[in-house]
């Protein structure tokens, strides 16, 4: 094998290795991005308004109890949200992410204690 052949081969292998690490980095970035951007709502309040309020605001059309009229422990609210209850559907992590659900539960719990926001 000539010296030129050999160095061409080394260059080709190096280029392939670079490409592969570039691809791996891209894949890694995508995964990180997905994990970090899993906030599905701007705030817990927004999530409540969009997912729970239609059934829990005390309107005539609401099928569930008004959640603002009782004092709930945030953990209890999260449990009901994740597991559902009777006619109430369960809300999985793909519907409400954990961080948002924490905020949602804190928001509802504050309302029940008569605090605004
Ligand atoms: C499709 C309507 C519907 C949606 C949407 C809904 N719920 Fe419910 N929920 C109900 C109904 C109906 C009950 C009462 C079930 C029963 O008493 O058998 C209930 C019960 C509850 C209870 C127990 C209340 C009590 O004091 O007994 C909690 C807490 C609760 N829901 C939280 C939530 C949260 C948080 C969300 C949003 C993530 C949510 N619900 C979304 C219908 C709904």
What confidence tens digit (pLDDT) does each residue in 43-76 have? 999 999 999 999 998 888 889 999 999 999 999 9
How far apart are the CA of 97 and the centre of ligand 1, in A? Answer: 18
The total of other beta-carbon atoms located within 10 Å of residue 35's CB is 8
How far apart are the CA of 34 and the centre of ligand 1, in A? Answer: 29
- Does 1.10.10.10 match the CATH number of domain 44-112? no
The total of other beta-carbon atoms located within 10 Å of residue 82's CB is 15
Dihedral angle computed from the Cα positions of residues 96, 106, 78 and 35, in that order, rounded to the nearest 10 degrees: 30
Q: Helix 98-112 vs helix 74-83: angle between axes, to the nearest 10 degrees? A: 130
Q: What is the per-residue pLDDT for 62? A: 86
Tell me, using a 6 A CB cutoff, whether residue 100 lines ligand 1: no
Tell me, using a 6 A CB cutoff, whether residue 61 lines ligand 1: no
How far apart are the CA of 66 and the centre of ligand 1, in A? Answer: 9
Intervals of the chain under pLDDT 70: 1, 3-4, 14-38, 116-117
Q: What is the per-residue pLDDT for 26? A: 60
Q: What is the per-residue pLDDT for 42? A: 92
Q: What is the per-residue pLDDT for 47? A: 96
Phi, psi angles (nearest 5°) of residue 88: -80, 130
Q: Ligand 1, residue 79: give the atom nearest the CA.
A: 29
Tokens 């970035």 map to which residue? 29
The total of other beta-carbon atoms located within 10 Å of residue 24's CB is 10
For residue 85, list its beta bridge partners.
88
Q: What is the per-residue pLDDT for 90? A: 98
Model confidence, pTM? 0.75
Q: What is the per-residue pLDDT for 37? A: 60
């Amino acid at each position: 094998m000539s010296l030129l052949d050999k160095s061409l081969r080394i260059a080709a292998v190096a280029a392939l290795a670079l490409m592969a690490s570039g691809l791996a980095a891209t894949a890694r970035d995508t995964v990180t991005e997905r994990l970090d951007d899993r906030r599905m709502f701007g705030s817990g309040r927004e999530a409540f308004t969009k997912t729970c309020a239609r059934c829990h605001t005390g309107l005539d059309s609401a099928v569930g109890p008004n959640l603002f009229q009782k004092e709930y422990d945030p953990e209890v609210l999260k449990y009901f949200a994740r597991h559902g209850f009777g006619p109430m559907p369960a809300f999985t992590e793909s519907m409400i992410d954990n961080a948002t659900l924490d905020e949602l539960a804190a928001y509802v719990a504050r309302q029940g204690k008569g605090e605004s926001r």
